[in-house]
């Protein structure tokens, strides 16, 4: 993201006020708000552009091998924008590795994918890490002067009355046996 000379001037004033608080003039406030809106819009536009690029990349991937040159170019652009190659990208590049450009891009994508997986695993292991043996843990101790159950002014809930266990015949009523149909003579007479 690049700032114009005017935007840099506004940014410099805003940073100076952040470091040394002072009352702002109305014009400075309006300039700072306009700059913030411009930065927000640029961030939204970057997100839209990234989504468009990834959708386009998926369309080219589906049209392979006929779209080889376009796919390789789009993938390089996506990687330059911080895209982490997906499993579909690696599979497509493996199928196309007879092409020297695809083989070179496959090697690059494999390195990036491996780094990405290692970074995710490191984050997971840090989140679930337990302290090493020998590292003392802080113990929680009760402080003197605390309340006991006898000191608690809140009313205690009444103990629930014990209910008898129901009999199986109460829970599962007896089955009714189906009544057999009348014999054919009675049906004809009725």
Instruction: Give residue 189's pLDDT.
Output: 57
Question: Would you call 144 helix, strand, or coil by DSSP?
Answer: coil
Angle at 151 between CA 145 and CA 157, to 5 degrees: 140
CB of 85 closer than 8 Å to CB of 58: no
Average pLDDT over residues 135-149: 62
pTM (two decimals): 0.47
As a whole number of angstroms, the distance between CA 9 and CA 86 comes to 41
pLDDT beyond 60 at 109: yes
Query: Which helix (H) or strand (E) segment is 81 a member of?
Result: none
CB of 81 closer than 8 Å to CB of 50: yes
* Domain residue ranges of the chain, discontinuous segments joined by +: 1-62, 68-127
Instruction: Give residue 104's pLDDT.
Output: 93
Question: Would you call 141 helix, strand, or coil by DSSP?
Answer: coil
Instruction: Give residue 190's pLDDT.
Output: 52
């Amino acid at each position: 993201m690049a700032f114009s000379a005017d935007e840099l001037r506004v940014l410099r004033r805003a940073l100076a006020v952040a470091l040394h608080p002072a009352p702002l003039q109305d014009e400075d406030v309006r300039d700072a708000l306009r700059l913030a809106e411009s930065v927000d819009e640029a961030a939204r536009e970057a997100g839209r552009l990234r989504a468009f690029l990834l959708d386009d990349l998926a369309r080219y991937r589906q049209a392979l091998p006929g779209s080889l040159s376009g796919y390789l170019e789009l993938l390089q652009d996506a990687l330059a924008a911080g895209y982490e190659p997906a499993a579909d990208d690696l599979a497509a590049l493996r199928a196309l590795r007879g092409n020297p450009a695809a083989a070179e891009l496959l090697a690059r994508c494999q390195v990036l994918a491996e780094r990405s997986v290692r970074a995710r695993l490191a984050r997971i292991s840090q989140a679930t890490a337990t302290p090493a043996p020998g590292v003392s843990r802080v113990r929680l101790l009760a402080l003197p002067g605390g309340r006991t159950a006898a000191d608690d002014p809140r009313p205690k809930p009444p103990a629930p009355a014990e209910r008898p266990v129901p009999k199986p015949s109460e829970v599962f009523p007896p089955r009714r046996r189906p009544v057999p149909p009348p014999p054919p003579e009675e049906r004809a007479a009725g």
